[in-house]
Chains A and B, each alone.
Chain A
Amino acid sequence: MIHSLFLINHTGDIFLEKHWKSVISRSVCDYFFEAKEKAVDPENVPPVLQTPHHYLITIYRGKLFFLSVIQTEVPPLFVIEFLHRVADTFQDYFGECSEVIIKDNVVTVYELLEEMLDNGFPLATESNVLKEMIRPPTILRSVVNTLTGSSNVGDTLPTGQLSNIPWRRAGVKYTNNEAYFDVIEEIDAILDKSGTTVFAEIQGVIEACVRLTGMPDLTLSFMNPRLLDDVSFHPCVRFKRWESERVLSFIPPDGNFTLMTYHVSSQNLVAIPVYVKQNISFFETGNCGRLDITIGPKQTMGKTVEGLMVTVHMPKAVLSTNLTASQGNYTYDLATKVLVWDVGKLNPQKLPNLRGSLSMQAGAPKPEENPSLNIDLKIQQLAISGLKVSRLDMYGEKYKPFKGVKYVTKAGKFQVRT
């Protein structure tokens, strides 16, 4: 299926290649470079390209292109999903997925790629299984390895892939048994000029960090599971139990994982935590414009809005800005024409305001459209949908684990049209 993989940085250097079948010349990437040139923006390079003898399927992650070469029919999503899984694995192993990190850990990277695909077909993609075979690098181990010349390939054989629970490694032991769940909700919204909601929905995800000894069987139940409109699960979740009882029953993988993602649809009224008063105008004459943005709390359920940030992609003609922020700092990147206002905490008594003038390129026509505002924010201790975990039960093991649930609401793709 997947013939070869090339890792390409954003300047167009191929810095790593791996072939699972025969070697394919890197000249095949030329077709990709051509398309990249044409697309200007890396996000606009078509993920699937056809060349005379091959198909190229590419993803763009962390300023890197993961380019895979395909020779025959294969579902494109299969490859895309796999490539993202590769990137996720790098992230998981090395903390980030960048050119420098990959080059630093090139041996581990090759070991991982060798295990993840066999003859182009995914073999071991579960983090728990991989980590049993190939240990993630630590500073101590890399020092030891350099001195002794040993590798970080595990001494013991992984048993995970042999069992019915391939996502969990066997023989897990902890002195402190703990299970933490983060309920993270993101509000996706489009607000129009007048502040009316054009479209809003909540995307939630439950990230788990489970460090429990043995083979625990967990059941997580909610106070109000009917709220969830659409769900997707980690393979460990028993779907039938969800269908019949609306509880999450699962034997967790060891460590960090995404237990479920969910969706609260726009039919339910989605609370919009902030309102934005804005006035951006460009004048016909004088090559200038005005900008005035005020943000205030709307439906915050009594919690504090933090990490407030406004990002504006200005029209190309805007040369510079002369603004005053009543709170926080703002920056304007002249090259990318991006205005970022980092507000911080939202104080309902004293609403943050950013105002001032924009100077325009002389002779440039007045921009027709006002740029839309992208809002970023964070509310701790709150799931905006109202979702609540009621309890976590553990079966199969006798110890008492430490349990914790945390709620966070963030802005997702939160856009205000102006």
Chain B
Amino acid sequence: MSASSAFNDEKGGSSSVGEPEYGHDPASGGIFSSDYKRHDDLKEMLDSNKDSLKLEAMKRIVAMIARGKNASDLFPAVVKNVACKNIEDPNQLIRASALRVLSSIRVTIIVPIMMLAIKEAASDMSPYVRKTAAHAIPKLYSLDPEQKDQLIEVIEKLLADKTTLVAGSVVMAFEEVCPERIDLIHKNYRKLCNLLIDVEEWGQVVIINMLTRYARTQFLNPNINESLLEEGGGGEKTFYGSDEEEDEDEEEKEKKAEAAVMAKRKPYVMDPDHRLLLRNTKPLLQSRNAAVVMAVAQLYFHLAPKAEVGVIAKALVRLLRSHSEVQYVVLQNVATMTIKRRGMFEPYLKSFYIRSTDPTQIKVLKLEVLTNLANETNISTILREFQTYIKSMDKDFVAATIQAIGRCATNIGEVRDTCLNGLVQLLSNRDELVVAESVVVIKKLLQMQPEKHSDIIKHMAKLTDNIQVPMARASILWLIGEYCEHVPKIAPDVLRKMAKSFTNEEDIVKLQIINLAAKLYLTNSKQTKLLTQYVLNLAKYDQNYDIRDRARFIRQLIVPTEKSGALSKYAKKLFLALKPAPVLESPFKDRDHFQLGSLSHLLNAKAGGYQELPDWPEAAPDPLRVPEWTKCSSREKRKEKKVEKPFYSDSEGESGPTESADSESDSASGSESASGSEESGSGSESEESEEGSESEEEEEEEEEEKDKKKKKKEIKKPVQESESALKNYELLHRITGEGLSVEYCFSRQPFSPDGNMVAVQMQFTNNATSDTKNLHMEDVKLQSGMRVKEFPEIELLPAGETATAVMGIDFCDSTQAANFQLCTHTRKFFVSIQPPVGELMRPVFLTENEFKKEQGQLMGMNEITERLTLDVKCRNEHAIVQRVTTAANLSRVPCGSDKECRFAGKTVTSGSLVLVTVATKEEGAAQLTVNCEKMVIGTMLVKDILLALTQ
């Protein structure tokens, strides 16, 4: 890194690169060589294969830098040597760190190298390296936005990744580089939903936020029918079509909801994918990470049917126990939510009660929430609580409380009078701020229905004798002036008193006295003409020029003289125009057009890089999301599957480690291994149980377990088999079998009792009218060396039923048949199983380099090459992979070129490597190469694959 910064500095301060430089040159030693040449020389040295040359070149460059020479154009070559070497390190952590270092160099000149490194790392076999590649994407993007298209390709590739480690990081890259490319998500939507619970916390937040946006573009508004009803209806009115809920409670709720709604209106059917998202995010409400909880909460708020949104309230209330910054953000969001969905927080009303030790900003927010939650039923409790708050020593908070009371009074008609009375009492408060705030709020309340409250106005008029707070006096005077018609008798008297004390009043009060005088003069000039004149005269000689100005202006306006202009005609209209009642509404109203939990929501202003939350579509777009399994057929990175197994995921009833751990301890305590084989024998196909039994069996075999960890590794490495349809072969036709038909297939699962055996899965169907009993095998006839592990006897196969069983056969890497008798309680049938050569192997995972290395050792007689013309339907990579892997149990090897597909496997018995390469050329021409120590196998495999690719 230090070298890199030196280069960086160098570049900044240097003279232009092209400038020729002569002499003093340690690199070339020649006086006449130009700058270019010298660098070419060094470049050549750096590109050479000899470490000594490279080292020498590096030394010279360092010497140049030390002397202040520009070496920036050599930067890529240097980086290639320093970082790239590590990028090919066999240790994944070193590879990852190398990429991290490389991608942190912020110099545009290395963009191409970085791009290459990212691409390489994106198809690395280690998920950790791929994660680092995802992290590097935004770095490169910020360095050179022109790389966007290429980076999107990498993102697309990484989005298809099935490891939890990569998911969060690649979605983060997606959000930074191409958040608008929502189409890239379709294929990966279900996978992301399913992986979510196992992704690390930070990744979860990013994925959930992105999926919220995605869902808004792809699904229908689940509350589409709700919006027709009035707000506050509550209840479970939402219908949703998914019936795949596992949770019983959920199901019950659903049924209720269904029943409630069925009668009412046309059903809205929720897209199962929409349901999947809601279901898979819900457990994350229990996360310890506040950001994750908030992310799920906003997802539910924006996407869930109204009846279900309630679940988030409890979790959000829990966050109020957290740090005050967390409280601050959560309360802001709760405040917004309470406006639209008041009902869901009502049960938690008391959780928003304020403690004297809360910071003021938290108090004010809680107050906001309490105000939003107030309704007819709880208002008395809330007002009682507010009364406590008014006595607080925190005056800003008291002022906010008074405002809150005012809002409750406007919103809930029943308590308006109570509130008003309470506020009027506050007018005698000793604190200036409290009084002022009360007067302001009373003023607002009175403006709504002045005619009803002339007594309060009268009461306030009386207060002028006692209240000294200027702001409050001013407000009262404004009120009396404004509504002087409601208090025709009192108003002139107040003016009289004020005229008396005019000279002693504060400026704001003086202004309002003038104001009052003017209004009274216009409405009741008979009584107040002289008073007004007097006040205006006093004001004329006031010390404050504002007051003098105001007096002069008003006199001109209201007292008609010859000079006064046309305006005086409109004086009454000007002064006594109907003023709109101020609107007392929550500052959080309509804030939910910002995605909740976002920075923009908090600031109520669009922050840079904010992605709008789209409106629901009118009609749902065609679902482009593909089921997760279809992608597996491409078998792009089968090696990941071992990692991808969701240990902790909810979708698995039992998670991996528990299972294996349990069974291990079982067998350790001396349980029979038979249980294991029975388990697999009974045909349970679940990978989970297979694995469990495998571990047991292994333990049986090597009683002395020396290295537990090694075993753990084996357990965790289930070789997942191809999901593409397995080919079924007939063992016994139903006519020959007198009603019993048997089919078999090579399940490609590891046969746990014996690793050298090929698992054969048999399916027995009893087509007869009577039961078949004691189905078992006998009289196995085998070639030397071959072995068979019989399937456990099936005691009863009732008429019309089907049963499956698994047997293992060690074919000794040959395609010779295993012959045996299949016996029932009445009959015996001679049958035989002959494997296709492709089933005699199992996949192994190799990197490209390993593959090449191994291939290099299997040349000559061990290599068979055939030219072929590909079937018309089989000219893309995907089809080739599909066909080869169907023909033979091999795994794909990552490959840099798109013209080549490579596969690797090992024979089951001897473990000899089988390497297959399909190189495609123009117009469907291709070349198939098979490298295998066992020439017979190789030859047969070539035939089979040839057949598969050409037909």
Q: How far, in angstroms, from A74 to B610 measured CA to CA in the complex?
A: 8
Interface core residue of B283, B430, B648 (most chain A CB under 10 Å): B648
Q: Which residues of B contact A233 (CB under 8 A)?
A: 286-288
Task: From the candidates A76, A214, A232, name the one contacting B286 in the complex (CB within 8 A).
Answer: A232
Q: Are B169 and A121 in contact (CB under 8 A)?
A: yes
Q: Which residues of A contact B610 (CB under 8 A)?
A: 72-73
Q: Are A73 and B602 in contact (CB under 8 A)?
A: no
Known: A164-B198, A164-B643. A75 touches B598 (CB 8 A): yes
Known: A75-B295, A396-B664. A203 touches B321 (CB 8 A): yes
Q: Are A73 and B611 in contact (CB under 8 A)?
A: yes
Task: From the candidates B315, B609, B645, B664, name the one contacting A73 in the complex (CB within 8 A).
Answer: B609
Min distance, Cβ A395 to any Cβ of chain B, angstroms: 4
Is residue A98 within 8 Å, beta carbon to beta carbon, of the partner chain?
A: no
Count of chain A to chain B residue pairs whose CB atoms are closer than 8 Å in the complex: 226
- Beta-carbon contacts under 8 Å, B403-443 to A: 429-431
Is residue A355 within 8 Å, beta carbon to beta carbon, of the partner chain?
A: no
Known: A41-B360, A164-B648. A230 touches B315 (CB 8 A): yes
Known: A78-B291, A374-B357, A417-B388. A199 touches B350 (CB 8 A): yes
Q: Which residues of B contact A335 (CB under 8 A)?
A: none
- Could you pull out 26 A-B pairs where Cβ atoms are within 8 angstroms? A1-B172, A44-B359, A47-B324, A47-B329, A72-B607, A75-B598, A76-B599, A77-B597, A157-B93, A158-B93, A161-B128, A201-B351, A214-B709, A215-B661, A229-B314, A232-B318, A234-B288, A235-B287, A239-B650, A261-B321, A263-B321, A395-B662, A396-B657, A396-B661, A398-B665, A415-B356
Known: A190-B355, A230-B314, A239-B286. A73 touches B662 (CB 8 A): no
Residue interface bits B513-530, CB-to-A below 8 A is 1, else 0: 000000000000000000
Q: Which residues of B contact A161 (CB under 8 A)?
A: 128, 165
Q: How far, in angstroms, from A84 to B393 measured CA to CA in the complex?
A: 31
Min distance, Cβ A258 to any Cβ of chain B, angstroms: 7
Of B21-29, B135-143, B683-691, B861-869, the one contacting chain A is B135-143
Interface size on A, residues (CB 8 A): 85
Q: How far, in angstroms, from A374 to B356 measured CA to CA in the complex?
A: 9
Interface core residue of A59, A61, A78, A234 (most chain B CB under 10 Å): A78
Is residue B200 within 8 Å, beta carbon to beta carbon, of the partner chain?
A: yes
Q: Are A372 and B356 in contact (CB under 8 A)?
A: yes
Is residue B673 within 8 Å, beta carbon to beta carbon, of the partner chain?
A: no
Is residue B353 within 8 Å, beta carbon to beta carbon, of the partner chain?
A: yes
- Beta-carbon contacts under 8 Å, B487-504 to A: none
Q: Which residues of A contact B103 (CB under 8 A)?
A: 119
Q: Which residues of A contact B165 (CB under 8 A)?
A: 161-162
Q: How far, in angstroms, from A239 to B653 measured CA to CA in the complex?
A: 10
Task: From the candidates B94, B329, B658, name the one contacting A217 in the complex (CB within 8 A).
Answer: B658
Q: How far, in angstroms, from A315 to B392 measured CA to CA in the complex?
A: 10
Q: Are A395 and B290 in contact (CB under 8 A)?
A: no
Q: Are B323 and A73 in contact (CB under 8 A)?
A: no
- Beta-carbon contacts under 8 Å, B571-604 to A: 597-600, 602-603
Task: From the candidates B286, B430, B599, name the one contacting A48 in the complex (CB within 8 A).
Answer: B599
Q: Are B106 and A22 in contact (CB under 8 A)?
A: yes
With contacts A161-B128, A232-B315, A415-B356 known, what are 19 further pairs, Cβ within 8 A?
A47-B325, A48-B602, A72-B609, A74-B599, A76-B599, A81-B326, A123-B135, A161-B165, A217-B657, A229-B314, A230-B315, A239-B286, A266-B350, A365-B430, A369-B392, A372-B356, A395-B665, A396-B661, A415-B357
Q: Are A75 and B599 in contact (CB under 8 A)?
A: yes
Known: A73-B598, A157-B91, A164-B648. A396 touches B665 (CB 8 A): yes
Is residue B671 within 8 Å, beta carbon to beta carbon, of the partner chain?
A: no
Residue interface bits B123-164, CB-to-A below 8 A is 1, else 0: 000111000000100110010000000000000000000001
- Beta-carbon contacts under 8 Å, B643-668 to A: 643, 645, 647-648, 650, 652-653, 655-658, 660-662, 664-665, 668
Q: Are A75 and B291 in contact (CB under 8 A)?
A: yes
Q: Which residues of A contact B680 (CB under 8 A)?
A: none
Q: Are B286 and A55 in contact (CB under 8 A)?
A: no
Is residue B629 within 8 Å, beta carbon to beta carbon, of the partner chain?
A: no
Helix, strand, loop or mixed for chain B's interface?
A: helix
Residue interface bits B292-313, CB-to-A below 8 A is 1, else 0: 0111000000000000000000
Q: Which residues of A contact B293 (CB under 8 A)?
A: 232
Known: A71-B608, A215-B657. A235 touches B288 (CB 8 A): yes
Q: Which residues of A contact B142 (CB under 8 A)?
A: 21
Q: Which residues of A contact B602 (CB under 8 A)?
A: 48, 76
Min distance, Cβ A187 to any Cβ of chain B, angstroms: 12
Q: How far, in angstroms, from A236 to B655 measured CA to CA in the complex?
A: 12
Q: Which residues of A contact B138 (CB under 8 A)?
A: 119, 121
Q: Are A121 and B202 in contact (CB under 8 A)?
A: yes
Is residue B118 within 8 Å, beta carbon to beta carbon, of the partner chain?
A: no
Q: Which residues of A contact B172 (CB under 8 A)?
A: 1, 121
Q: How far, in angstroms, from A84 to B360 measured CA to CA in the complex?
A: 21
Residue of A whose beta carbon sits closest to that of B611: A73
Q: Are A43 and B324 in contact (CB under 8 A)?
A: yes
Chain B residues proximal to chain A, CB less than 8 Å: 91-94, 100, 103-104, 106, 126-128, 135, 138-139, 142, 164-165, 169, 172, 197-198, 200-202, 205, 209, 247, 283, 286-291, 293-295, 314-315, 317-318, 321, 323-326, 328-330, 350-351, 353, 355-357, 359-361, 385, 388, 391-393, 429-431, 597-600, 602-603, 605, 607-611, 643, 645, 647-648, 650, 652-653, 655-658, 660-662, 664-665, 668, 708-709, 712
Is residue A386 within 8 Å, beta carbon to beta carbon, of the partner chain?
A: no
Is residue A166 within 8 Å, beta carbon to beta carbon, of the partner chain?
A: yes
Q: How far, in angstroms, from A47 to B295 measured CA to CA in the complex?
A: 19
Is residue A144 within 8 Å, beta carbon to beta carbon, of the partner chain?
A: no
Is residue A251 within 8 Å, beta carbon to beta carbon, of the partner chain?
A: yes
Min distance, Cβ B300 to any Cβ of chain A, angstroms: 15
Q: Which residues of B contact A234 (CB under 8 A)?
A: 288
Q: Which residues of A contact B350 (CB under 8 A)?
A: 198-199, 266
Q: Are B291 and A315 in contact (CB under 8 A)?
A: no
Q: How far, in angstroms, from A55 to B648 measured CA to CA in the complex?
A: 36
Q: Which residues of B contact A74 (CB under 8 A)?
A: 599
Q: Which residues of A contact B329 (CB under 8 A)?
A: 47-48, 76-77, 80
Known: A215-B712, A217-B658, A395-B665. A80 touches B135 (CB 8 A): no
Is residue A125 within 8 Å, beta carbon to beta carbon, of the partner chain?
A: yes
Q: How far, in angstroms, from A199 to B317 measured CA to CA in the complex?
A: 14
Is residue A143 within 8 Å, beta carbon to beta carbon, of the partner chain?
A: no
Min distance, Cβ A269 to any Cβ of chain B, angstroms: 14
Q: Are B608 and A78 in contact (CB under 8 A)?
A: no
Q: Are A119 and B597 in contact (CB under 8 A)?
A: no
Min distance, Cβ A289 to any Cβ of chain B, angstroms: 15
Is residue A404 within 8 Å, beta carbon to beta carbon, of the partner chain?
A: no
Q: Which residues of A contact B328 (CB under 8 A)?
A: 46-48
Known: A73-B598, A78-B205, A235-B287. A217 touches B661 (CB 8 A): yes
Is residue A106 within 8 Å, beta carbon to beta carbon, of the partner chain?
A: no
- Beta-carbon contacts under 8 Å, A24-82 to B: 41, 43-44, 46-48, 50, 55, 58-61, 70-78, 80-82
Task: From the candidates A41, A47, A164, A374, name the one contacting B164 in the complex (CB within 8 A).
Answer: A164
Is residue A111 within 8 Å, beta carbon to beta carbon, of the partner chain?
A: no
Is residue A277 within 8 Å, beta carbon to beta carbon, of the partner chain?
A: no
Is residue A328 within 8 Å, beta carbon to beta carbon, of the partner chain?
A: no
Q: How far, in angstroms, from A366 to B680 measured CA to CA in the complex?
A: 84
Known: A73-B610, A75-B597, A118-B135. A315 touches B393 (CB 8 A): yes
Residue of A whose beta carbon sits closest to that of B333: A77
- Beta-carbon contacts under 8 Å, A351-384 to B: 365, 367-369, 371-372, 374
